Amino acid sequence: MDNDKALDERWMREALKEAKKAFLEGEVPVGAVIVSQGEIIARGHNQVELLQDATAHAEMITLGAAAAAMGNWRLAEMTLYCTLEPCVMCAGAMLLSRLPRLVWGCPDLRHGANGSWVDIFTKKHPMHTLEITSGILASECAALMREFFHVRREQDS
């Protein structure tokens, strides 16, 4: 796994493409990709409204797609890039998937599980560690969220 800022930005741009798909579908614009050995093996974006499933977050969909692609639920040697700080559910799924690295874009003040609301990663896990890099392309990720909710408020008024 490479922890290079330019590579992190490259892959986060791919996650942003997924977030834009969610935006166009009327979903909260969160996107994710999972990278293994320099290649994207899974992509996903929020589908909560489409599926009427509160668990259909971009990260959950992408984790499932990566497991299916690899034929293994253990996602060793992979990095998940997501445009928004993961919630508790998604963070837990990352730990359960044995994902070694997470890179996220902008904070989620309402649900963020890496310090914005709570931080489940402060307690050392007995068997697994997750390296976390935050704030990659944060302004672009946050701008997309602001635009989505601005449009949503205009539609509701």
Q: What is the DSSP letter of 119?
A: B
Q: Residues 6 or more apart from 122 whose CB is under 8 A from it?
A: none
Residue 59 designated active-site: yes
Q: Which of 18, 27, 59, 85 is catalytic?
A: 59
Burial profile 102-126: b = 16 or more Cβ within 10 angstroms, e = fewer: bbbbbbbeebbbbebeeebbeeeee
Write out the DSSP string of 35-102: EETTEEEEEEE--HHHHT-TT--HHHHHHHHHHHHHT-S--TTEEEEEEE---HHHHHHHHHTT--EE
Annotated catalytic residues are 59
